[in-house]
Amino acid sequence: MPELPEVETVRLGLVPVLGVPIARVRVARRDVVRDHAEQRRGRLDPRALLEHDTIARTVRRGKQLALIGAGGRVVLMHLGMSGQVLVLEAGARVEGGHAHVVWSLNDGRRIVFRDPRRFGGIWLLPDLAALDARWDALGVDGLSITGEDLQRSLGASRRAIKPALLDQSGVAGVGNIYADEALFEAGIDPRRPCDTIAPDEWAKLGDAIRAVLSAGIRAGGSTLRDYRRPDGTPGSGVNGHRVYGRGGQPCVRCGRPLSKALLAQRTTTWCEHCQN
């Protein structure tokens, strides 16, 4: 599943098409696109998809990415489980099909939204105020979260810290992989109730979340085996993870075998010795 680093990598990959006029938008799967009234059927206004407009800038909160048109309209993307955004040079083919929405640019390049498993999608919003209203429900973005932010939003909760991190209303953009990695870096047991975590531990956890997400971005997005950057090249693979996917293997700190269990239905890997 694409996590924050993958979505940020997609956002950075769109920089070369900012300001380039969009000649035409083709929607191959209407049900992938929701209009402002949340409808997934019926005729779409091509202008709502930025036809005859340009992408002035892009913004991201957590795992959601928004294209902001020069005219102020907003195309909000969720990549879901398998979503990709590709920038294709003129004449290049989309490999693997599932090109649900295609923006053809004046210079011959195309932006393609594909999502084979269709858990993601596109939301068409009239303006930035509508985007802000949607994003009010999300917590502070993981790339800028601090220990104080974490303590404020989660500190009174009796839930275990790992599922609390996955709930996007506390921190936006921390998924299963980076939650395990950040808790290992901070030395915090994923089963600890939030209200037992001390201020210095929240501070360590905030630092750890920013660090593991930043490392993921430097790796070009690494969490999905078939993940592709917008230019079509693969992410750098899963080698950088210190606990995720390594249950039973030796802890990189103490050498003891890492524990693995389901916690709130999600596979969780941690070190009983290094994380308390």
**Enzyme catalytic residues:** 2-3, 63, 266
- Crossing angle of helices 176-186/199-218, nearest 10°? 130
The yes or no reply on residue 183 touching Zn ion (CB under 5 A) is: no
The smaller minimum CB distance to Zn ion, of residues 73 and 192, is found at 192
Tell the residue number behind the tokens 């090109």, with chain if given: 99
Query: CA dihedral defined by 77, 81, 85, 86, rounded to 10 degrees?
Result: -170
The yes or no reply on residue 271 touching Zn ion (CB under 5 A) is: yes
Buried b (16+ CB within 10 A) or exposed e, 9-32: bbbbbbeebeeeebeebebebeeb
Smallest gap from residue 257 Cβ to Zn ion (A): 9
Query: Which of 98, 113, 121 has the alpha carbon at shortest distance from 40?
Result: 121
Q: Which residues contact 103 (CB under 8 A, 6 or more apart)?
A: 22, 24, 25, 49, 50, 110, 111, 112
* Angle, alpha carbons 101-87-63 (nearest 5°): 70
Smallest gap from residue 251 Cβ to Zn ion (A): 3
Per-residue contact string for residues 205-234; x = within reach of Zn ion by CB under 5 A: ------------------------------
The yes or no reply on residue 274 touching Zn ion (CB under 5 A) is: yes
The yes or no reply on residue 273 touching Zn ion (CB under 5 A) is: yes
Of 31-39, 188-196, 237-245, 264-272, the segment contacting Zn ion by CB under 5 A is 264-272
Per-residue contact string for residues 231-260; x = within reach of Zn ion by CB under 5 A: --------------------x-xx------
Of 41-49, 65-73, 141-149, 267-275, the segment contacting Zn ion by CB under 5 A is 267-275
The smaller minimum CB distance to Zn ion, of residues 10 and 243, is found at 243
The smaller minimum CB distance to Zn ion, of residues 124 and 274, is found at 274
The yes or no reply on residue 65 touching Zn ion (CB under 5 A) is: no
> Residue 177 CB: number of other CB atoms within 10 A?
23
Q: Which residues pair with 123 in a beta bridge?
A: 34, 76
- Binding residues vs Zn ion (CB under 5 A): 251, 253-254, 271, 273-274
